[in-house]
């Protein structure tokens, strides 16, 4: 079953990511998809609440997916969807959701179109999906994304992962947008803590973050302001800018 | 209580990481410590089994640390150790382990030495530790690392995190070293799957990984071989090189 984009977007309140790859835990490969996923979701007004990195192990994947899918509206997995022995994500997701694994006729037909006469049984391994999964289509994306219940199965290869973000954008949305603003200060965290605490206490609807920067000549601390109400975000920032006026740095 | 390096290393069989930072989940900051940690641990013969990314929330940190610390020999946390309102890692770790939080006289003395007359109450917030935690010293590292039971509390700033890896190297070791080898092939995964399965089946003591590379002119698939027995690793690689001789690429 395929789902065309643009009909009506699903409203997502909580989301989690499962990064699948022994090579990431062993420090052979640098994780590269979490940042892109977090950025995309934030632009949609969706907060990524938790991310887990686990090895290429069917049973571990299944137990991680089960826990994440129970506790979040949507889960995104990354990795483990190729044709080799260490690609066990589809089996793991299916087991987590109590589904069998079967070959999708739609994906098999797509593979046949790509590979033509050279299509083999091995290629068809990439057409396996948790039985009953949706194939989410994107207007600009050739290959659909497999979505089993609330689990989006995304590829691990960063270039392909980033392409698939367009499909997420077409099908999902947060309850309302996020608004973000920031201040760069030429002061150490310890110098501003007392006044910053006052700003934090005075603006309960704004999430305020403080991030020291190491060995940067331009600034020492970044203060971020995030919330669903743009007026609240702006007020918190204005108050902070007022309190820290002698430290404020322009980075444009 | 401080622990000097080099006495006797603790043997670690299982390890986990907790990356603490709302800014990472929201895609504002790129995670930068997991790769360095994984690489360092692998060089010591320690496998990182799992990593979790969570927001700057005391109760969430506490529940994540409790779960990870129960299931692994050692847990490394990253982030949330500064003096501002969003730095709640010490409280979270202490709560997870059933410990109170108190000011370490040793860390307070170190801070007094660094800040001299300009030392404030805010600086002393950085001397808080879970009560009874060890201060692990490194020969080349000025600042000790706080270790509460089996939880190593590491800083989030990547430059500082990497400095502290030296302390890990001086105090921890795996049960035996890992040996790794790899082959670069100019073949897609689907072309080699059947023969690769034979290698995997024939070498149960070697973990074999297959990683497709996207849009790289030099190779299409990286095959990795990992294990505790160097002869087994080498044998598996030799058999693969034999089977895939027409695809092997030299990347030197």
pLDDT tens string A177-234: 999 999 999 999 999 999 999 999 999 999 999 999 988 889 999 999 999 999 999 9
pLDDT for A141 equals 75
In B99-229, which residue ranges form alpha helices assigned H by DSSP? 105-115, 121-124, 158-171, 189-202
* Partner-chain residue, chosen from B27, B159, B209, that has the shortest CB–CB distance to A35: B27
Q: Which residues of A touch B48 (CB under 8 A)?
A: 25-27
Q: Which residues of A touch B37 (CB under 8 A)?
A: 27
pLDDT tens string B111-163: 999 899 989 999 999 999 999 999 998 887 788 999 999 999 999 999 999 99
Asked whether the beta carbons of residue A190 and residue B86 sit closer than 8 angstroms, the reply is no
* Partner-chain residue, chosen from B53, B157, B189, that has the shortest CB–CB distance to A83: B189
pLDDT tens string A143-183: 899 999 999 999 999 999 999 999 999 999 999 999 999 99
pLDDT for A25 equals 97
Q: Which residues of A touch B158 (CB under 8 A)?
A: 214
Asked whether the beta carbons of residue B48 and residue A26 sit closer than 8 angstroms, the reply is yes
| Chain A interface test: which of B111, B193, B215, B236 (most A C-beta within 10 Å) | B193
Q: For residue A121, give the chain B residue with the closest CA.
A: B190
pLDDT at residue B6 greater than cutoff 60: no
Q: For residue A53, give the chain B residue with the closest CA.
A: B51
Asked whether the beta carbons of residue B27 and residue A36 sit closer than 8 angstroms, the reply is yes
Sequence-distant (6+) residues with CB within 8 A of A43 are none
pLDDT for B2 equals 67
CA distance, residue A126 to nearest chain B CA (Å) = 9
Distances (CA, A) of B208 to A5, A43, A67, A89, B106: 39, 38, 28, 16, 47
- Count the Cβ atoms, other than its own, within 10 Å of residue B73: 16
Q: For residue B125, give the chain A residue with the closest CA.
A: A190
Q: Which of A38, A20, A147 is nearest to A80 (CA)?
A: A20
pLDDT tens string B195-230: 999 999 999 999 999 999 988 889 999 999 999 999
- Count the Cβ atoms, other than its own, within 10 Å of residue A198: 12
Asked whether the beta carbons of residue B47 and residue A29 sit closer than 8 angstroms, the reply is no
Q: How far apart are CA B134 and CA B111, in angstroms?
A: 17
Supply the pTM of this predicted model.
0.94
């Amino acid at each position: 079953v395929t789902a065309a984009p643009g009909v009506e977007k699903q409203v997502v309140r909580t989301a989690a990511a499962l990064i699948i790859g022994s090579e990431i835990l062993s420090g052979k490969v640098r994780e590269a998809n979490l940042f892109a996923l977090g950025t995309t979701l934030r632009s949609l007004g969706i907060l990524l609440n938790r991310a887990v990195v686990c090895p290429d192990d069917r049973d571990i994947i299944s137990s991680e997916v089960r826990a994440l899918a129970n506790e979040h509206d949507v889960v995104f997995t990354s990795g483990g969807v190729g044709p080799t022995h260490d690609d066990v994500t589809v089996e793991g997701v299916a087991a987590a959701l109590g589904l069998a694994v079967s070959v999708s006729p739609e994906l098999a037909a797509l593979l046949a179109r790509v590979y033509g006469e050279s299509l083999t049984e091995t290629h068809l391994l990439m057409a396996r999906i948790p039985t009953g999964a949706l194939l989410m289509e994107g207007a600009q994306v050739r290959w659909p994304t497999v979505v089993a219940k609330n689990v989006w199965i995304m590829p691990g290869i960063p270039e392909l992962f980033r392409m698939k973000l367009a499909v997420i954008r077409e099908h999902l949305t947060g309850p309302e947008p996020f608004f973000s603003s920031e201040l760069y200060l030429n002061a150490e965290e310890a110098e501003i803590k007392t006044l910053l605490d006052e700003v934090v206490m005075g603006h309960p609807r704004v999430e305020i973050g403080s991030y020291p920067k190491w060995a940067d000549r331009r600034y020492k601390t970044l203060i971020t302001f995030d919330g669903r109400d743009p007026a609240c975000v702006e007020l918190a920032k204005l108050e902070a800018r007022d309190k820290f006026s002698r430290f404020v740095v322009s980075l444009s």
